[in-house]
Amino acid sequence: MHVKLNILILADPFGKPSFAPRLRYLCNYLVQQGHQIVVYTEQFQEFDFPHSYPIIEKPIAYHNTWQWAWQSLWSLLFDWRNRQFSQWVSQQVKDQDFDLVFCTTFSTFPLRAAYDIALQKHIPLITDIRDLDEQIPGAQYQSHRQWWAKPFSHWYKRINIRRRNRVLRAANTITTISPWHVDFIRTYNTNVHLIYNGYDPAQFYAKDIPTDTFRIAYIGRIYAFQSTALIEQVVRELNLPNVELDIHTTDCQPIPLNQVGDKLRHSSIALVLTNPNAKGMMTTKFFEALGCEKPILCTPSDNGLLAQTIRQTNAGLASSDINEIKAFILNKYHEWQQNGFTRQAVINKEQFSREKQAQQFEQLFIHTLKSHNS
C-alpha cells in the first residue's frame, strides 16, 4: 500500500534564471504520486512556471535601500531574517498537521524555521543542502557584497556556518548533491544521502537541429569565482567563421525558463564554468546539457568530481589547457560543418534523470517518517 504524505516544504526564494528546478520537479512528482504538499518561501522575483500546489510567499519587509540595509545588518547580528520567517510560517501553519518538514537551501535560510516547526509539531526534519559555504574560498556565496557589508563578510560566513551546523546536527535526514558534500556533512550528521542535481527529461532531451552558426552557449548565473576569460581567448585565437560565443545570464540576454532546452539543442557546445578551487560543484547546467546530449566544455577544469563525471559519461571535455580546448572545439566544429549539428555519444545519462532523483526523495521521506514513528 502506497503511503500518502502531508509535507510542509520550506525553501529559499525562487530566483532567475532556473527557479529552483530541483525543488520544482520534486514537487510536481510528489503531487502526481498523491502526496499533499505546501511550499513556504520569501517573495523575491516573479515566476511564471505552472504548478498545481500552493506556493505561499512571505511579503518583502522593506521598501527602500535603507530599510533593506538595516534589516540585513540586523540579520547579520541577530539572525533577524530567519527569526522573522520562522515566526511567520509558524503562525501560518499553527492549525495544520504535517507528517514531516522538508527544507531545501543553498546556504542557511530557511533552516531555522524548519528546525523550529519540526520541534513544535514533533515531526521529522529532512534538509536538502544544495551548496556549502566551504566549497568556495572566501565568502563569495554571501549576498552581502555591498560596500558597507564587505568588512563583515568573513565574520558573517562563520556565523552562518554555525547557524547551519546547529540544524544539520539535529536533522533526522540530510540530502545533498555530490560525494564531496556527503563526506563533508557526515562530520555533523551520519544520516546523509547523495541525490545528484539532474535534468528534467521532458525538457532536456536530444534532437538534431541543423544551424547556420556554431554556437558555444552558456546559460546561467556567473559567480565571482567563475570566468569566461579562457574561452573568450580561445575563440579569438581560433578565429573560425560562423562561430558565436552565446552568453545568457540573469542580467544579459536572459532566456525564458521553458526555452532553455531548445536553446541547448540549437547550440553546438554547452559551456560549463567552474573553478579548480571549487569543491563538489555538480552544477545543474552540466546535467541539462547531458540530457540534450550536447558536447560539454567545462573550463577551467575543477580537477575533481565534475571532470570525473564528464569522463565517466563521455559528455565532453573538462580542461584548463588552451591547446586541448582548441582541439576539442575544432573537432566539434568539423562535425558541425559536416552535419549541420553536433551530438555527443553520452553514456548512462538516465542515472541523472530528475524522475529517478524524485523517487529517491520519496523513499527517504517514507523511511524517515517510519523511523521517527517506530
E-only strand ranges, 15-155: 36-42, 55-58, 100-105, 125-129
Please state which of the ranges 116-130, 160-174, 215-229, 355-369 shows the lowest mean pLDDT: 215-229
| Confidence check: pLDDT of 361 > 60 | yes
Task: Of 23, 9, 362, give the one whose Cα is nearest residue 198.
Answer: 23
What is residue 343's DSSP assignment?
Answer: -
pLDDT at 7 over 60: yes
Q: Read off the pLDDT of residues 212-260 as tens digits, 9 standing for 90 and up.
A: 999 999 998 888 888 999 999 999 999 999 999 999 987 788 888 889 9
Q: How many CB atoms lie within 10 A of CB 316?
A: 24
In this predicted structure, what is the pLDDT of residue 202? Answer: 94
Which amino acid makes up residue 192?
Answer: V
Cell output for 243? 562561430
pLDDT (tens digit per residue) in 9-44: 999 998 877 789 999 999 999 999 999 999 999 998
Instruction: Please answer whether residues 39 and 30 qualify as being in contact, where contact means their C-beta atoms are separated by less than 8 angstroms.
Output: no
Q: Name the pLDDT band for 365 (thresholds 50, 70, 90).
A: very high
Three cell numbers written together for 129: 543542502
CA distance 105 to 269: 30
pTM: 0.89
- Any idea which of 113-122, 214-223, 274-283, 313-322 has the lowest mean pLDDT? 274-283
What number of helices (H) and strands (E) belong to the chain? 12, 12
CB-CB contact of 333 with 308 (8 Å): no
Q: Taking Cα atoms as reference points, which of 255, 178, 195 lies closest to residue 19?
A: 255
Answer yes or no: is pLDDT of 140 > 60.
Answer: no
- The enclosing H or E element of 316 equals strand 316-318
More confident residue, 348 or 69: 348
- What are 45-78's pLDDT values in tens digits? 888 888 999 999 998 766 666 665 656 665 666 6
pLDDT of residue 119: 97
Half-sphere exposure of 85 (CA within 13 A, CB side): 26
253: Cα separation from own chain's centroid:
20
Give mean pLDDT, residues 283-310. Answer: 95
8 A C-beta contact, residue 33 and residue 363: no
The region of weakest confidence among 38-47, 146-155, 307-316 is 146-155
Distance of alpha carbon 140 from alpha carbon 157, whole angstroms: 9
**Whole-angstrom Cα distance, residue 125 to residue 171?**
5
pLDDT at 347: 97
Mean pLDDT of the chain: 90
